[in-house]
Amino acid sequence: MSDDSAIMTAFVIIVFGWPSAVVGAAVLVAGVVSRKRWLTALGALAASGFCLFVASYPPPARWLGLAAFAANWLAVLAVSRQAVAWAGVALVPHIITTLLVGYVVLVE
């Protein structure tokens, strides 16, 4: 395996895989708890790769990925408008999607 191929494989795993899901969720929660819009936006951006990858699955998983993607950015909007409770509610689709995909992967 060439170095370029290994680098590209690592890049795809980091951007679209579990690191994206876990880091995105952690930074989203940290942004909502600290009420920092930039941190919440960073978390939504970090989680976008995973959400859009799940959105490429067949339905009904497609709808979970799209809902998580949209809800993450709604959390950013809610934090920017000081609606922290709504931002917390907006994190639920991402967490459910991550847990369901993890469950399917582990059971398979």
What is the model's pLDDT at position 65? Answer: 96
Check whether 3 has a pLDDT greater than 80.
no
Per residue in 22-32, pLDDT (tens digit) is 999 999 999 99
Per domain, the residue ranges of the chain are: 3-107
Q: What is the DSSP letter of 81?
A: T
Each residue's pLDDT tens digit, 18-77: 999 999 999 999 999 999 999 999 999 999 999 999 999 999 889 999 999 999 999 999
pTM summary value: 0.90
Can you list the alpha helix ranges (DSSP code H) found in the chain? 3-16, 18-34, 37-54, 61-80, 84-90, 92-107
Neighbours of 61 (CB within 10 A): 16
Report the first-to-last Cα separation within the chain, whole angstroms. Answer: 28
Distance CA(46)–CA(59), nearest Å, equals 23
pLDDT of residue 1: 60
Q: How many residues does the chain have?
A: 108
